[in-house]
Amino acid sequence: MDSGIKRIAILGSTGSIGQQTLDVIRALTAKFRVIGLAGGANLRLLEKQINEFQPVMFYSSVKPDFSCKCEFLSKGEFRP
Span 37-47, pLDDT tens digits: 999 888 889 98
**What is the rounded CA–CA span in Å between residue 80 and residue 62?**
21
Using DSSP, state whether 43 is helix, strand or coil. Answer: helix
**Is the pLDDT reported for residue 1 higher than 50?**
no
Which domains occur in the chain, in start order? 6-75 (3.40.50.720)
How confident is residue 66, by pLDDT bands cut at 50, 70 and 90? Answer: low
**Model pLDDT for residues 2-48, shown as the tens digit of each residue:** 679 999 999 999 999 999 999 999 999 999 999 999 998 888 899 89
Q: What is the mean pLDDT of residues 55-67?
A: 80
The closest of 45, 43, 23, 41 to 32, measured between CA atoms, is: 23
Q: What is the mean pLDDT of residues 51-64?
A: 86
The closest of 36, 16, 37, 34 to 26, measured between CA atoms, is: 34
